[in-house]
C-alpha cells in the first residue's frame, strides 16, 4: 500500500503521466485472483488502445484478505491517496460493507464487483456495485428450484445449508422467503466443520433439492462428502459456487447461479472469453467478467468527465436508460436511489464437462 506514482495526476498545467485506480480483493482466494485477472486484462487492453485519451491507466492492487478490518485499512489508504480517482472493489460482502463507510466519509467512488449482500443497497452515494443483490438472486434461485415441482409431480422439498457470514445468510434468507415448497432444514455451517453429519442428516430427510449458500471453500468439501455418501438430490448454489466447477469429480450436474457464463453467445462476451483464455489459459468466471467491466466502466467515466472524484461519482449516477454501458456481463446502469444495478443478468447454469451451461429449469 506504500506505492505512490510520481506525477500520476501532475498539475493542471501539464498532461498527467497516468490515471490511477485502486482495486481490492482477497488475493489468496480463488475469486479474488479471478477478480484481479479481469482487472489486469482490461487495463492491458485499454492501454494497448492508447489509454484514456492518450493517458495510460494504472491500478494499485491491495489484498483485503476478505476481512472487514483489513478492508477498512485498505479503504483508508485509498481515500488518503489523492492520486486514486476511484476503486474497483471490494469483491466480497464482508469486506465491502465496513469499507463502504470509509469511502462515504472520504468521498471516493468504490465500484464493487461481486459483493451481493442486501446490506449494501443504498448504503452510500459513493458506493456502487455491479452484481445484483442477494435479495434478487435468492429469489431467482428459489423460482428455479420451485419450478422442479412440474417434473416431480409434487411441491419440492429443500434442505438449505449456508455459510454463517454476510453472503451466506443473505442469500439463504432470500431463497427461503421465495421458495414455493417445503424447507426440511435450514442450517449454518463453518469452514472448519465436518460435513459428514450434515450430509447424513440430509439423507434422512430425503430432500429433492439441496441449496448451499457459500463460496467454494464450503461448496467443494460439501459436494465431496455428498458424493461419498451417495446423497441423491438436485444440488444448487449461488454465484459463490463458481469455484466448485474446478473440481470435476464432484461438479458434474450441479446447478450454479451466476451473472455471467463463458458460454454466452454475446459478441462482446465471446471476445472477452477468447482474450482471457489466451492470456491466462483458463476460462473466465463471473468474478473476472464483472471486474473487467468495472475497470472499463471507470475508464469510460474518467474519459468522459476527467480525473475528478466527484465528477466520476456523478457520471455513474446518471448513466441513462437510453445509453447504458455495454459490458461483457450485459448493459450496466445504476438505480438513482440505491446505486444497485438496474435489471438482473443473474441466471442459473448447469455444469457439464467443466462448463457452466445456461438452463431454463432443473433436469431431474
Q: What is the largest CA-CA distance in the chain?
A: 73
Task: Give 11's pLDDT tier (boundaries 50, 70, 90).
Answer: very low
User: Which residue is associated with the grid cell 434461485?
Assistant: 141
Task: Give 10's pLDDT tier (boundaries 50, 70, 90).
Answer: very low
Task: Give 364's pLDDT tier (boundaries 50, 70, 90).
Answer: low
As a whole number, mean pLDDT of residues 319-344 equals 89
| Alpha-carbon separation of residue 66 from 54, 128, 334 (angstroms) | 35, 18, 25
Crossing angle (nearest 10°) for helices 267-280 and 30-48: 110
Task: Give 321's pLDDT tier (boundaries 50, 70, 90).
Answer: confident
DSSP 89-115: ---SHHHHHHHHHHHHHHT--EEESS-
**C-alpha to C-alpha distance for 94 and 107, rounded to whole angstroms:** 21
Task: Give 343's pLDDT tier (boundaries 50, 70, 90).
Answer: confident
pLDDT at position 2 is 38
**Which tops the pLDDT comparison, 191 or 220?**
220
pLDDT at position 226 is 98
| Alpha-carbon separation of residue 275 from 140, 259, 279, 354 (angstroms) | 30, 19, 6, 19
pLDDT digits (tens, 9 = 90+) for 118-160: 999 999 999 999 999 999 999 999 999 999 887 788 899 999 9
Cell of 2: 506504500
Q: Which domains does the chain have, with CATH numbers?
A: 19-132+264-333 (3.40.50.2300), 135-258+348-358 (3.40.50.2300)
**How many distinct helices (H) and strands (E) make up the chain?**
12, 14
User: Are 91 and 115 a contacting pair, CB within 8 Å?
Assistant: yes
pLDDT at position 344 is 80
Cell of 171: 442469500
Helix (H, G, I), strand (E, B) or coil at 342: coil
Question: In this model, does residue 175 exceed pLDDT 70?
Answer: yes
DSSP 263: T
Amino acid at each position: 500500500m506504500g506505492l505512490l506514482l510520481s506525477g500520476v495526476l501532475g498539475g493542471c498545467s501539464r498532461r498527467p503521466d497516468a490515471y490511477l485506480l485502486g482495486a481490492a480483493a482477497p488475493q489468496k482466494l480463488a475469486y479474488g485472483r479471478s477478480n484481479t485477472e479481469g482487472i489486469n486484462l482490461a487495463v492491458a487492453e485499454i492501454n494497448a488502445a492508447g489509454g484514456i485519451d492518450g493517458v495510460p491507466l494504472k491500478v494499485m492492487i491491495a489484498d483485503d484478505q476478505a476481512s472487514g478490518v483489513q478492508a477498512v485499512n485498505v479503504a483508508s489508504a485509498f481515500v488518503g491517496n489523492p492520486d486514486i480517482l476511484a476503486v474497483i472493489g471490494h469483491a466480497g460482502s464482508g469486506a465491502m460493507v465496513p469499507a463502504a463507510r470509509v469511502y462515504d466519509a472520504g468521498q471516493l467512488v468504490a465500484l464493487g464487483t461481486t459483493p451481493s449482500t442486501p446490506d449494501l443497497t443504498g448504503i452510500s452515494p459513493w458506493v456502487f456495485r455491479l452484481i445484483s443483490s442477494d435479495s434478487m438472486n435468492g429469489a431467482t434461485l428459489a423460482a428455479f428450484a420451485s419450478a422442479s415441482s412440474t417434473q416431480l409431480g409434487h411441491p419440492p422439498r429443500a434442505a438449505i445449508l449456508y455459510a454463517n457470514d454476510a453472503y451466506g445468510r443473505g442469500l439463504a434468507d432470500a431463497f427461503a422467503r421465495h421458495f414455493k415448497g417445503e424447507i426440511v432444514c435450514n442450517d449454518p455451517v463453518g469452514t472448519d466443520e465436518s460435513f459428514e453429519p450434515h450430509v447424513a442428516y440430509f439423507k434422512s430427510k430425503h430432500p429433492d433439492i439441496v441449496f448451499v449458500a457459500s463460496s467454494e471453500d464450503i461448496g467443494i468439501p460439501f459436494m465431496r462428502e455428498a458424493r461419498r455418501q451417495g446423497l441423491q438430490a438436485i444440488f444448487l448454489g449461488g454465484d459463490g459456487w463458481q469455484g466448485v466447477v474446478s473440481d470435476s469429480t464432484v461438479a458434474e450436474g450441479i446447478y450454479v447461479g451466476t451473472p455471467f457464463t463463458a458460454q454466452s453467445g454475446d459478441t462482446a462476451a465471446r471476445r472477452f472469453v477468447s482474450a482471457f483464455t489466451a492470456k491466462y489459459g483458463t476460462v473466465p468466471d463471473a468474478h473476472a467478467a464483472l471486474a473487467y467491466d468495472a475497470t472499463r466502466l471507470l475508464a469510460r467515466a474518467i474519459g468522459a468527465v476527467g480525473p475528478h472524484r466527484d465528477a466520476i461519482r456523478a457520471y455513474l449516477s446518471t448513466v441513462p436508460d437510453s445509453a447504458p454501458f455495454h459490458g461483457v456481463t450485459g448493459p450496466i446502469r445504476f438505480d438513482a436511489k440505491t446505486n444497485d444495478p438496474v435489471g438482473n443478468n443473474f441466471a442459473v447454469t448447469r455444469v457439464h464437462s467443466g462448463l457452466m451451461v445456461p438452463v431454463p429449469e432443473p433436469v431431474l
